[in-house]
């Protein structure tokens, strides 16, 4: 007969310190800000406007 493996621990077994969490948060905010600064491409704006116009026609 073979022995069953011990049950997997519930939840994370290691926790990050507050300093590490803060550094990760800072880096994520920096990356996100760069993405936001890029803005929405003109083509996407045009497509959204077309979709909005289609919705307005359907509500009449």
Residue 38 in any domain: the answer is yes
pLDDT the model gives residue 27:
97
pLDDT tens track for 1-59: 556 766 666 665 678 899 999 999 999 999 999 999 998 899 999 999 999 887 676 66
Residue 25 in any domain: the answer is yes
Residue 1 in any domain: the answer is no
Q: Residue 46 belongs to what domain range?
A: 19-59
Contact of 52 with 44, CB cutoff 8 Å: no
pLDDT the model gives residue 57:
65
Residue 27 in any domain: the answer is yes
Residue 10 in any domain: the answer is no
Q: Model-level pTM?
A: 0.45
Residue 30 in any domain: the answer is yes
Q: Report helix, strand or coil for 20.
A: helix
Q: Into how many domains does the chain fold?
A: 1
In whole angstroms, give the CA distance from residue 27 to residue 1.
51
């Amino acid at each position: 007969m073979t022995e069953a493996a011990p049950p997997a621990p519930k939840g994370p077994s290691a926790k990050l310190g507050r300093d590490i969490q803060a550094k990760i948060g800072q880096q994520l905010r920096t990356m996100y800000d760069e993405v936001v600064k890029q803005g929405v491409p003109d083509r996407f704006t045009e497509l959204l406007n077309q979709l909005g116009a289609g919705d307005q026609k359907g509500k009449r």
